[in-house]
A and B are shown apart, each in its own frame.
Chain A
């Protein structure tokens, strides 16, 4: 059974039809990189996967559970799907440690000491062992994004969604975030990553999805998609970004 299954997903904003019947299945431990031109609906697709965006039609199954049908359980279902945003969205009024411990404590009833122990482990893992008591505003972009990843991981999600996690970083900080994501992929996390980092997609992605015209226009392994794209639009896009 796939961890994520998307069936005939449609999403419109008023008159604007962004997703026009998108279908896909994503398996456990698979790393899927989503690429495509600006405005092609990559973020919209990703945000539908945890219902941050309400689909206009279609169904999304997360570990077999149809989200649209279980809308009233959405808060519980979202705990299984972590999300990392382009602009980090750390909670500025809390320390790094509190950013990470808040959700496990409030939503899973974890004790403070347990949650903090876990947060420290996660901070070690993302390479920030000494930033516990710092406020987010004192961190660099790359550090912020690594804390954001730790925050999402603190809920032990089955799936991680990344929406251009390195697009707002200075070039010298892109690597440190991508490395954390690589480690995560190696550990077997199921990941959907919207990205412009073609190098990362090639190296870490099990599958590349090229989005255009509101659907998955073409997809395949990195070799297939990058080395021998089948369709003209795909070739044209890759010609511009590679």
Chain B
């Protein structure tokens, strides 16, 4: 028993305390959270824009959006990240976190587009007919009747998307961005301990996603107050 505690406290000491290694984890977490936040905002904007383009009933625009969504969903995020990194880095001096935010934002936008579309299409089509029969235009029917109902479908899914996004950003290390996962990697390189740093990393991710999941649950309950 004593020896287990000893091993454990040694592991934590070497991987977390010594040489102030916790600083690496904390700043890594900071990068991961920032990256998630920026990508989520950008992704939501892009997704909203794409969804509107697709709902706008302009054939060629719709085709373009479909192609975009297919490409993003049909290729690995790591590959997209690296390609965008080299494409943008070649022509500008943006900080890495901005480049990564753009890459993840472009990626997330495709998924958000589909979430929004699904959320809108899940609204009973009788709602649009009732609105139109009263004399509302298509656009005003969307604004007053369809979108407020669609939001109830979309927000929980959007929350999930951001939780997924947080975990997806773990590949940011591929472009040498020092996020949480890469912090674990760096510490492992110094302590030659294959397990502890990544167990710590896993615990931190789990904590954050649990908190976000809780928050989403609360939001969802409030959204459904009227049913």
List A residues at the B interface (Cβ < 8 Å). 50, 52, 75-76, 78-79, 81-83, 85, 87, 89-93, 102-103, 106-107, 135, 137, 148, 151-152, 155
Contact = CB atoms under 8 A, between A and B. Distances in A.
Contact of B136 (A75, A90, A93, A135): A75
A106 B132 contact: no
Contact of A78 (B127, B134, B152, B226): B134
A50 B133 CA distance: 7
Given A89-B126, A92-B227, 8 more contacts: A76-B135, A78-B133, A79-B134, A85-B130, A89-B129, A91-B127, A91-B130, A93-B148
B129 A85 contact: yes
Nearest to B152: A93
B70 interface: no
19 contacts: A52-B132, A75-B135, A76-B135, A78-B134, A79-B134, A79-B135, A83-B130, A83-B133, A87-B126, A89-B124, A89-B129, A89-B130, A91-B130, A92-B226, A93-B148, A93-B149, A102-B134, A107-B135, A152-B134
A137 B225 CA distance: 11
Nearest to B140: A106
B137 A75 contact: yes
Interface string B119-143: 0000010110111111111001000
A86 to B, nearest CB: 9
Contacts of A152: 133-134
A139 B226 CA distance: 13
B216 interface: no
A91 B135 contact: no
A89 B129 CA distance: 8
